[in-house]
Amino acid sequence: MRIGLDLRPFLKEETGIGVYFRNLLFSLAKIDRENEYFLFSSSLKDRFSVNKIPAFARMNFRDFHYPVEAINFFWHRLLFPPLDFFFKKNLDLTHSPTPLILPTRGKKIISVHDLFFVDSPELTDKGTRKNFFKRVASSIQKADGVIAVSKFVKDQLLNRFVIDEEKIKVIYHGTDPDFYSEVPANRLDRAIKKHALPSDFLLFVGAIEPRKNLTSLIKALKIVHKKHNKISLVIAGRKGSDFPKVQALILKNQLEGWVKTLDYLPREEVRCLYSLASLFVFPSLCEGFGLPLLEAMAGRLPLVVSGVSALPEIADDAALYFDPNSPESIAGKIVEALQDKSLQKKLIARGVERSKDFDWEKTAVNTLDFYQTIASQGE
């Protein structure tokens, strides 16, 4: 089988989709010695480093000097040229890690991580509205196979689109095994000094964008300070479109000495944060999966998260749940977790066990099986 893949989602900084695709492809490279992989990347300025290329036994990697926006325009709007064109070979299938198909003369598989841009376009950035909102329905119709990253996402697909349930397969993400490892003390010390971290803090990991609902978390922190000892909040993630609003709210509530907003951090530094934090808080309004939950659970951090979308499906009994639309509810669960040490131990133990249910090799095995199923259709 000749399989075409676009590596650009993890060319630079890795957000959720990039983390997913990198881990999936590196795991596929470990288990698949038979199929041939055609790996595409393109950018005017950025080049793909050798250590980021999955070591497939049989592969053809091409790194072009074409602008990202130009490639996206032709692929997303015109569905041309097919990926086959760049390799001068007919591909059996392509897999796009986004809901937009990767053009090919063969079969097409897409991954759908969530549909918040359909339900709540006002909470998305301009690029997402421009690229996804208008084209996702057509892409889902044209795709031969759809990977849903949770049962919640599968149900969303069936409720919102005319789609054959048989062409949807639920395949969960995996837990990065590095997050189970204890971080050396000297590395923790470096992180504390580099970021001037407080001795006791709540942690949020993710982009500062509207659907992550950090404004409600800031309001909740003010309530926590009234009901409990004052505690800091560290926000680690890309400073997206909601950053000015979050900063303004911090100042309004006189919390500037208690909230630290870090930008995007490499994985090793995020591991340090999980090791140093007292509690992981995730107030998101909508998640199709929630990779930071797995990282926090593997990092032995108790979880307090939104009780909506896919988050209860993923964390199961390893978290306390709150209403993300209520700062009082968020604050109440944070205070409960901070004050009850035995509860913290239970959540940590449950979290470690729950995270082991998610394995990247299992993700790769299930994905490869899906590739073979879709490629063989119509033979």
Compute the distance between CA of residue 334 and CA of residue 219 in angstroms, rounded to an integer. 13
Residue 366 and residue 279 share a domain: no
Q: Any bridge partners for residue 57, and if so which?
A: none
Terminal-residue alpha carbon distance, the chain: 13
Residue 225 and residue 312 share a domain: yes
The CATH number assigned to the domain holding 317 equals 3.40.50.2000
Q: In terms of DSSP bridges, do strands 232-236 and 201-205 run parallel, antiparallel, or are they unpaired?
A: parallel
Compute the distance between CA of residue 145 and CA of residue 92 in angstroms, rounded to an integer. 13
Q: Is 351 exposed, middle or buried (0-12, 13-18, 19+ CB in 10 A)?
A: buried
Residue 190 and residue 150 share a domain: no
Residue 319 and residue 197 share a domain: yes
Q: In terms of DSSP bridges, do strands 232-236 and 259-262 run parallel, antiparallel, or are they unpaired?
A: parallel
pLDDT of residue 333: 98
pLDDT of residue 182: 94
Q: Is 268 exposed, middle or buried (0-12, 13-18, 19+ CB in 10 A)?
A: exposed
pLDDT of residue 121: 67
pLDDT of residue 328: 98
Q: Any bridge partners for residue 354, and if so which?
A: none
pLDDT of residue 44: 84
pLDDT of residue 16: 81
pLDDT digits (tens, 9 = 90+) for 73-108: 899 888 899 999 999 999 999 999 999 999 999 999
Residue 279 and residue 133 share a domain: no
Compute the distance between CA of residue 283 and CA of residue 69 in angstroms, rounded to an integer. 32
Give residue 153's domain range. 2-174+359-376
pLDDT of residue 32: 97
Compute the distance between CA of residue 41 and CA of residue 25 in angstroms, rounded to an integer. 14
pLDDT of residue 127: 59
Please name which of 367, 209, 231, 360 lies closest in space to residue 285, comparing C-alpha atoms: 209
Q: What is the total count of domains within the chain?
A: 2
| For residue 327, cis peptide bond before it (omega within 30 degrees of 0) | no
Q: Residue 14: pLDDT band by 50, 70, 90 thresholds?
A: low
pLDDT of residue 125: 62
- CA 144 to chain CA centroid, Å, is 24
Residue 161 and residue 244 share a domain: no
pLDDT of residue 134: 72
pLDDT digits (tens, 9 = 90+) for 227-268: 988 999 999 999 999 999 999 999 999 999 999 999 989 999
Average confidence (pLDDT) over 134-159 = 94
pLDDT digits (tens, 9 = 90+) for 121-142: 666 666 565 666 678 999 999 9
Sequence-distant (≥ 6) Cβ neighbours of residue 15 within 8 angstroms? 207, 238
- CA 5 to chain CA centroid, Å, is 18
pLDDT of residue 147: 98
Residue 101 and residue 124 share a domain: yes
Residue 188 and residue 127 share a domain: no
Contact 330, 216 (CB under 8 A): yes
pLDDT of residue 56 exceeding 60: yes
Residue 322 gets the label, from left (phi > 0), alpha (psi -120 to 50) or beta, of beta
Residue 272 and residue 164 share a domain: no
Q: Residue 13: pLDDT band by 50, 70, 90 thresholds?
A: low
pLDDT of residue 130: 60
Compute the distance between CA of residue 5 and CA of residue 310 in angstroms, rounded to an integer. 27
Q: What is the dihedral of CA 267, 269, 274, 277, to 10 degrees?
A: -160
Residue 336 and residue 228 share a domain: yes
pLDDT of residue 94: 98
The fraction of the chain above a pLDDT of 90, given in percent, is 81
Compute the distance between CA of residue 250 and CA of residue 256 in angstroms, rounded to an integer. 6
DSSP characters over 34-83: SSEEEEEEE-SS----GGGS---SSEEEEEE---HHHHHHIIIII--S-H
The fraction of the chain above a pLDDT of 70, given in percent, is 96
pLDDT of residue 154: 97
Residue 265 and residue 294 share a domain: yes
Sheet holding 59-64, edge to edge: 59-64, 36-42, 2-6, 93-96, 107-112, 145-148, 168-170
Sheet holding 232-236, edge to edge: 259-262, 232-236, 201-205, 279-282, 303-306, 319-322
pLDDT of residue 124: 64
CA-to-CA dists, residue 1 to 32, 84, 144, angstroms: 11, 13, 16
Q: What global pTM score does this model have? A: 0.93
Contact 46, 58 (CB under 8 A): no
Q: Which residue has the higher pLDDT, 322 or 127?
A: 322
Residue 372 and residue 279 share a domain: no
Q: How many CB atoms lie within 10 A of CB 294?
A: 24
